[in-house]
Amino acid sequence: METAHIENKKLAIGWFSFTCSEDSTILFTELLNKHFDEWKKLIDFRHIKSLKTKNELKDLDVAFVEGAISSPDQEKEVKEIRENTKYVVAIGQCACTGMPSASRNAFGDEEMDDRIKWYMDNFNYHQKVKKLEDVIKVDDKVEGCPMNVPKFMSVMEKYLKLFNIV
């Protein structure tokens, strides 16, 4: 992504992860290895728990959200993210379709043994796992398990242009 920086303004982003393998977070970290020098001039990395201890959830331009929503606490958190960002991008299959995290939605009563019921109750899980757009408005999707990197790069460039950063 070779582009000219228009002004000193930066795209304020957050990266969030819910119920998933976090393979897209790993890919994002790998992309930072290659693009960090370029992106640090263009992007304000406000909230990325996998990389920073001091995170801020307010006035985000774009929130990249990986993973399905499997508990009331996650549902509350993702709604807070939606309230504090202009755009939400669902990252990876779990966020986009719920799968494979939502595979337990197909369990019948006979498959819900005491061990599974204990986990559901102990961790306050929803009865059903939800894809991101079942809970909040999603503006873009980057499917794949892990995410499709060329599509992610295209979406990143789209928002850099939309906010007049490049």
Residue 5, domain member (yes or no): no
Residue 4, domain member (yes or no): no
Question: How does the average pLDDT of the chain come out, rounded?
Answer: 93
Name 19's bridge partners: 68
Residue 27, domain member (yes or no): yes
Total domains in the fold of the chain: 1
Residue 6, domain member (yes or no): no
Nearest to 141 by CA among 92, 75, 94: 92
110 falls in which pLDDT band (50, 70, 90)? confident
DSSP 47-76: EETTT-SS---SSEEEEEEESBB-SHHHHH
Residue 112, domain member (yes or no): yes
* In the predicted structure, residue 1 carries a pLDDT above the cut 80: no
Residue 2, domain member (yes or no): no
Residue 3, domain member (yes or no): no
Q: Which domain holds residue 133?
A: 11-162
4 falls in which pLDDT band (50, 70, 90)? low
CATH number for the domain that contains residue 88: 3.40.50.700
* In the predicted structure, residue 5 carries a pLDDT above the cut 60: no
User: DSSP letter at 104?
Assistant: G
Residue 113: predicted pLDDT: 81
Share of the chain above pLDDT 70, in %: 96
Q: Determine the Cα–Cα distance for residues 106 and 28; give it in Å rounded to an integer.
A: 31
Is the pLDDT higher at 56 or at 112? 56
Residue 108, domain member (yes or no): yes
111 falls in which pLDDT band (50, 70, 90)? confident
Nearest to 66 by CA among 57, 52, 79, 78: 78
